[in-house]
Structure 1
Amino acid sequence: MRVVTAAEMRDIDRTAIEQYGIPGVVLMENAGIKVVEAVCEQLGGCVKGRVVTIFVGKGNNGGDGLVVARHLLNKGADVRVLMVADPEQLVGDAALNLNIWHKMGQKVYPVHQPNGINMVKVSLMSTDLVVDAMYGTGFRGAVSEKIGRIIDLINASGLPVIAVDIPSGLEADTGQIKGPCIRANVTVTFGLPKLGMVLEAGVAVTGEMVVADISLPKPLLAGRKMNLLQRNRVRQWIPRRRLAAHKGNFGRVLVVAGSVGMGGAALLTATACLRSGAGLVTLAMPEQLHDGIVGAAPEVMTLPLPQENGVLTAKALGALVDKLKFMDVLAVGPGLTRRDEAVDLVHQLLPHVNIPVVIDADGLNAVAKDLAVLERVAGPVVLTPHPGEMARLLGVTVDEVQQNRISLTRQCAEKWACTVLLKGARTLVATPQGEIYINPTGNPGMATAGSGDVLTGVIAALMAQGLPPAEAAAAGAYLHGMAGDYGALQLGMTGLTAGDILENLPRCIKEVEDY
C-alpha cells in the first residue's frame, strides 16, 4: 500500500479538485461520513442517545469534525463541539460547515478561552466517545501549552478516541511526537496512510488505522515511492513450486560465516536459508567448527576452510572463489568477527562476486573500513545493517541514524547502488531507484542475539528462488517479523529467541502463500 507525505496528499487533493472537478466540500463530506461509520462501529452500531464530544480545530481537519457532528446529530446522538481555536478563524469549506452547524441551531464551545479547561473536564465526565479533529497533516512541532493540557485530559479520560485523518500532535512526515499527542483507539485516515502513522512513534498513537475511500480518483492514489508492506503484496512475490520441480530449481546459497565462539550465527543463517525455501545451502566456515555444524544441521552442506585462531583468513579465498562458480547467491558476514584477518578476507572476496550477495553483521563492519569495495562487486548487493552498523558505515552517531531513518536509508541505497535494509522498529528497505518499503511486522522481543542472522538467511533464500534484491529484502523482512510475532504470541516477548523465529518461518510462509 502506498504511503504519502503531507505534501503528496495535498497534491492529490488539489489535483482531485482542480483537474477532476471534485469540490473540496464533497471530499470533506465524504471524509466526515467515513468517520461517522467508525464512531457507530465503536459504539456498538447505534449512536442514538450516546454522547460524543468532538474537538475541532481551525483547519480542514476541523471542518471534517463539523461534518461528523452534523451526521451524528441527525442519527440521534448528543453531540458537543468544543473549538480549540477562535471560530472566526475558520475559512473555506470548514467555515461553510460551521455555518451549517449554527443554522441547525447548534452551538460550539470555545475552549481556547480562559475557562476552557474546566469546560473540557466537565464534558469528558459525561461523554461516551471523543473525536479528535484538532490538527491535520500540516501540523509540525509541539502543540501549545493549553492544547497540550486538553490532550492530556483526553488521554487520561479512558474514553475511546477516534482521530480524524491523523492524531493531533503527530507529525505526518516524520512520525515524531514533540509534545502531548492524542492516543487514538482508531484513526480514520483519508485516501492513503500518512508516513508518520506507520513509523515507530506514530504507530503507538494511531491505534487501528482505517484507510477510508473518500472518492479520490484511483489514478491519483497509484504510485510506489513509499510502500507499507502488506500480506497480499508479499504473497504475490513468493515463488510458487511446480509439481516437477527439484532442489536445483530453488537455488544454491553459499553462506560465509562463523568463527570460534560464534558458530551459532553461521548455523542460524544457513538453517534459515533452508527453512525459507533454498534448494541447496553450503556453509563455508572455519574448519574447527565443522563437526559441530554437521551434527546440528545435517541438511546443510559444509565447506571447512583454513583458519587462524578460529577465524577465517585470506587463505580461504581460493576455495571460496572456486565454490562461487557453482552458486546462485552469497551471504557473508554473520559471526566472522571484526579481526583484521576476517576483514581482509571480505575485502578480497567481494570483487570476485558476480551473483547476488547479502552482506550482514561483520561483513558490514568490514565494508565500513572501505566503502569503495562495494563498487567492485559485480552482482546486486543487499546490505542489512542495524542502526549501530549503519552509523559505522556512515561515520555518524546512532541517534543521527534513528532521527533520519528514511532519508539516510534512501540516500545510501542511491549512493551505493545497493538495496539497503535498515533494521529496527518498522524496518525499512530502500532501492537504488529511491523506492522505500516499510515493514509493519515484528516486535521488541526480536531484539535478541541471532535474529539478524536468521533474516540474512531468509533474504538469501528468496533471492536464490529468483526474487529481485529489493523484493527479497522486503518480503524477507515481512516474513521474519511475522515469524517473530507468532513466537511472541506463543511465548511472550521476553524469552523470545532467534531459534523461535526460525521455527515459525515455515508456518508464516505457508500462511502468506494461502492468503
Structure 2
Amino acid sequence: MRVVTAEEMREIDRKTIASGIPSIELMENAGRAVAKAIKSHYRPLRGKEISIFCGKGNNGGDGLVIARLLAKEKAKIKIFLLTRKKELKKDPKTNLRKALKQKIEVIETDTSQKLKKFRQEIKKSDLIVDAILGTGIKGAPKGLEAKAIKFINSLKKPMVSVDIPSGVEGSTGRVSGEAIRADLTITFGLPKIGLVVYPGAEYVGKLEVAHIGFPKRFLSDKEIKVYLVTKEDISSYLKPRRPDTHKGTYGHLFVIAGSVGMTGAATLTSQAASLCFGALRSGVGLVTLGIPESLNEIMEVKLTEGMTLPLPETKKKTLSLKAKEEILKFSKKADALALGPGLSANKETKQLIRNLIKKISLPMVIDADALNALVGHLSILQSRIQHPGSRIITPHPGEMARLIGKKAKEVQENRIKVAGDFAKKYKVIVVLKGARTVISDPKGNICINPTGNPGMASAGVGDVLTGMIGSFLAQRREPLEAAKMGVYLHGLAGDLAAQEKGEEPLIASDVLEKLPQSFKQVKSNK
C-alpha cells in the first residue's frame, strides 16, 4: 500500500479537481466516509451527544458534512467552530449553510473565553469529532487551536479524527506541541506518512483508509515511492512448494558469527536461519555456521540442525585474518552470507570482516559487529557488487548514527531520509530497525513495516532477524523481497509472543518459538 506525504496528497487532490471532480464533491464524500465509520463503530447514534470541532479549512468543512449526516441519524449534534463563520473558505462555507438549514446548532468558539464558556456543555459529549487541523500543519498548533486540543484530550472521551489527528505533521509524524489522541482516524485516499511512523502513529488509534473518489491512476502514481508493508504483500511471496524439490533447492546460507562470550548471538542467528519455516522453519535448505575453532564443540551440540565450520582464531578467541582464505573457499558453496552478530570489536577481526565484504560477491546481510567494522570504511560496500541492492545492512539507530557520523537522535528524527539517502549512495538495501522499521533500496523505494513491539528491544532479537533475512537471500529471493519478508514475519512473531507472554519478559527465543505461527498466519492471510 502506498503512503504519501502531505504535499503528495495535495497534488493528488489538485489533479483530481483538474480532472473534473469538484472539490465540494470530494468534501461531501469525505464527510460521508467518516459518518459511515462513526455509525459502524459507535452505533446506535440516536440520542447520543456528539461535539464536532471544526477549523476554518477544508478539514473543518469535512466536519460540517459529518455533522449534517449524523444529525440525520437522530444524534444530538453541536458544532464548535474555532473561527468566525465569515472566515470560512468557500466549500466549508457552503456546508455551513447546509448545516444551518438543517437546524444544527453551530457555536462560534473563536476565542479562549468562548471556549471556556461552553466547557461544561462539551463535557457532556458521548463522542467528539476532531476536524480542526489537516495534514499540512508544520510545527506546534498555536493559540486557540492548541488550547482546544489540550481541553479535548483532557475529557478522555471517545475521539474520532478526520484525516489526521490535529497537531500531527502529515509528512513526518512529528508532534511538536499539543495533538489529539484519537481512538479512530479516518484518512482519505492513501495513508499519510505521519499516520504510520512514530511519534504520530501513537496518536492515531485505529486507522481506516476511506476512498472518496480520487482516480486510481493518481493514487498509483509511480512517483509515490513510500509503501506500507502489508500481510497481503508477504502472503503473495509465500508460494506453495513443489513436491519434487529437495534441500538443495532452497539454498545454502553461510553464517559468520560468534566469539567467546558471545555464543548466544551466534546460536540465535543460526536458529533463525534453520528453524523458521517448513522443515527448517525459515525455508532455507542448509545452514553452515563459521565460528572460531574453540567454539566448534559447543556449537555442534547446540546446532543439531545446522553444520559448523571451525575457523582459525586470535588469542582472544575471535576470528583471525588467517580464516580469510578458508571462508572465501567455502563461500563458493553457499548461496548467501549472513555476517556480523557476536564477532567482537577485535581489531584483527574487523580487518577480516572488511576483507570478506570486499572479496565475496554473494548476496549478504551485514549486521552488528560487521557494521561497526565498516565505520570509516563505507566505500567497501560498493566493492564487487554484481547487482546493486544485493547487500542488506540491518543497523539499529545507534549503529546507523556511527556509520554516518551523526547522533542517534538525528537518525530517529529523520528515519526515512537517512535510510533512503544511505541506500542510494552506497547501493545497498537498508533495514533501519526500530519502531516502524524502515526498509529502503537504491532505486528510492521506501517500505515501512507495521509489525513489532517494544518488547523486542532485547538482546538477540535482532540476530534472529539477520538469520531470517539471510535465509530468504539463500533461497534466491530478490533482496528487497527478502528484507520485507524478514522484517514483517519477525515483527509478527514478536507480536504473537507479546500477546501470550507480555512485552516486558520477551526474549529472543520467544520470537523464535512463534515464527512457525507467524508464517502460518500470513500464508492463511487471516
TM range (shorter): over 0.9
What residue identity is the alignment partner of 1:470? L
Q: How does 1:33-112 map to 2 (within 5 A)?
A: 33-44=32-43, 46-112=44-110
What residue identity is the alignment partner of 2:67? A
Q: How does 1:310-325 map to 2 (within 5 A)?
A: 310-325=317-332
User: What CA distance in whole angstroms lies between the structure 2 residues aligned with 1:400 and 1:239?
Assistant: 40
Quote the offset at 1:146 in angstroms.
3.1
SS of the counterpart of 1:233? Answer: helix
User: What CA distance in whole angstroms lies between the structure 1 residues aligned with 2:519 and 2:475?
Assistant: 14
Of 301, 306, 315, which residue of structure 1 is paired with 2:312? 306
Q: Which moved more, 1:105-114 or 1:162-171?
A: 105-114
Of 506, 511, 515, which residue of structure 1 is paired with 2:521? 511
- CA deviations 1:387-407 (Å, max 9, x no partner) are 010001001111111111110
SS of the counterpart of 1:442? Answer: coil
CA shift in 2, pair 1:25/1:285, >3 Å:
same
In the other structure, the counterpart of 1:344 is 351
Of 465, 482, 493, which residue of structure 1 is paired with 2:503? 493
Quote the offset at 1:22 in angstroms.
0.8
Say if 1:4 and 1:192, in contact at 8 Å, map to a contact too.
yes
Off by >6 Å, runs of 4+ in structure 1? none
SS of the counterpart of 1:495? Answer: coil
What residue identity is the alignment partner of 1:494? E
What residue identity is the alignment partner of 2:225? K
Q: Please tell me whether residue 368 in structure 1 is matched to residue 378 in structure 2.
A: no
User: What CA distance in whole angstroms lies between the structure 2 residues aligned with 1:37 and 1:436?
Assistant: 32
Quote the offset at 1:120 in angstroms.
4.2
Say if 2:71 and 2:104, in contact at 8 Å, map to a contact too.
no
Quote the offset at 1:369 in angstroms.
3.1
Q: Please tell me whether residue 421 in structure 1 is matched to residue 431 in structure 2.
A: yes
Of 197, 200, 204, which residue of structure 1 is paired with 2:202? 204
Q: Which moved more, 1:142-151 or 1:351-360?
A: 142-151
Say if 2:173 and 2:196, in contact at 8 Å, map to a contact too.
yes
Q: Please tell me whether residue 412 in structure 1 is matched to residue 411 in structure 2.
A: no
In the other structure, the counterpart of 1:8 is 8
Quote the offset at 1:492 in angstroms.
0.7
In the other structure, the counterpart of 1:273 is 273
Quote the offset at 1:202 in angstroms.
1.3
Quote the offset at 1:239 in angstroms.
4.2
CA shift in 2, pair 1:114/1:459, >3 Å:
closer
Say if 1:161 and 1:183, in contact at 8 Å, map to a contact too.
yes
- CA deviations 1:213-235 (Å, max 9, x no partner) are 11211121114501111100011
In the other structure, the counterpart of 1:469 is 479
CA shift in 2, pair 1:53/1:336, >3 Å:
same
- CA deviations 1:149-195 (Å, max 9, x no partner) are 22122112121100000000000011010111100000000011010
Quote the offset at 1:352 in angstroms.
1.8
SS of the counterpart of 2:330? Answer: helix
Say if 2:342 and 2:369, in contact at 8 Å, map to a contact too.
yes
Quote the offset at 1:240 in angstroms.
3.0
What residue identity is the alignment partner of 2:11? D
In the other structure, the counterpart of 2:441 is 431
In the other structure, the counterpart of 1:292 is 298
In the other structure, the counterpart of 1:183 is 181
TM-score for both structures, normalised by structure 2: 0.96
Quote the offset at 1:125 in angstroms.
2.2
In the other structure, the counterpart of 2:170 is 172
User: What CA distance in whole angstroms lies between the structure 2 residues aligned with 1:26 and 1:226?
Assistant: 28
SS of the counterpart of 2:199? Answer: helix
In the other structure, the counterpart of 2:232 is 232
User: What CA distance in whole angstroms lies between the structure 1 residues aligned with 2:111 and 2:391?
Assistant: 59
What residue identity is the alignment partner of 1:28? M
Say if 1:250 and 1:278, in contact at 8 Å, map to a contact too.
yes
CA shift in 2, pair 1:298/1:352, >3 Å:
same
What residue identity is the alignment partner of 2:474? A
User: What CA distance in whole angstroms lies between the structure 2 residues aligned with 1:337 and 1:369?
Assistant: 17
What residue identity is the alignment partner of 2:265? A
> Identity rate of aligned residues, in percent?
44
In the other structure, the counterpart of 2:403 is 393
Quote the offset at 1:114 in angstroms.
4.1
User: What CA distance in whole angstroms lies between the structure 1 residues aligned with 2:239 and 2:321?
Assistant: 36
User: What CA distance in whole angstroms lies between the structure 1 residues aligned with 2:182 and 2:208?
Assistant: 12
SS of the counterpart of 2:379? Answer: helix
What residue identity is the alignment partner of 1:12? I
SS of the counterpart of 1:499? Answer: helix
What residue identity is the alignment partner of 1:438? I
Aligned length: 513
TM-score for both structures, normalised by structure 1: 0.98
Say if 1:353 and 1:378, in contact at 8 Å, map to a contact too.
no
Gaps in structure 2 of 5+ consecutive residues: 277-281
User: What CA distance in whole angstroms lies between the structure 2 residues aligned with 1:484 and 1:360?
Assistant: 19
CA shift in 2, pair 1:381/1:117, >3 Å:
same
Q: Please tell me whether residue 28 in structure 1 is matched to residue 38 in structure 2.
A: no
In the other structure, the counterpart of 1:134 is 132
Quote the offset at 1:112 in angstroms.
2.2
Of 333, 353, 359, which residue of structure 1 is paired with 2:360? 353
Q: Please tell me whether residue 448 in structure 1 is matched to residue 430 in structure 2.
A: no
In the other structure, the counterpart of 2:279 is none
Of 326, 330, 335, which residue of structure 2 is paired with 1:328? 335
CA shift in 2, pair 1:311/1:128, >3 Å:
same
CA shift in 2, pair 1:114/1:172, >3 Å:
closer
User: What CA distance in whole angstroms lies between the structure 1 residues aligned with 2:391 and 2:437?
Assistant: 18
Q: Which moved more, 1:280-289 or 1:216-225?
A: 216-225
SS of the counterpart of 1:181? Answer: coil
User: What CA distance in whole angstroms lies between the structure 2 residues aligned with 1:462 and 1:234?
Assistant: 12
Quote the offset at 1:119 in angstroms.
3.5
- CA deviations 1:35-60 (Å, max 9, x no partner) are 1112212322x212111100000100
Q: Which moved more, 1:447-456 or 1:86-95?
A: 86-95
User: What CA distance in whole angstroms lies between the structure 2 residues aligned with 1:303 and 1:240?
Assistant: 32
SS of the counterpart of 1:369? Answer: coil
Alpha-carbon RMSD across the aligned residues, in angstroms, is 1.2
SS of the counterpart of 1:26? Answer: helix
- CA deviations 1:234-263 (Å, max 9, x no partner) are 111234311111111111000000000001
Say if 1:227 and 1:438, in contact at 8 Å, map to a contact too.
yes
Gaps in structure 1 of 5+ consecutive residues: none
User: What CA distance in whole angstroms lies between the structure 2 residues aligned with 1:106 and 1:77?
Assistant: 11
Q: Which moved more, 1:109-118 or 1:169-178?
A: 109-118
In the other structure, the counterpart of 1:245 is 245
Say if 1:120 and 1:150, in contact at 8 Å, map to a contact too.
no
What residue identity is the alignment partner of 2:35? V
User: What CA distance in whole angstroms lies between the structure 1 residues aligned with 2:518 and 2:351?
Assistant: 38
- CA deviations 1:428-453 (Å, max 9, x no partner) are 00010000000000000000001110
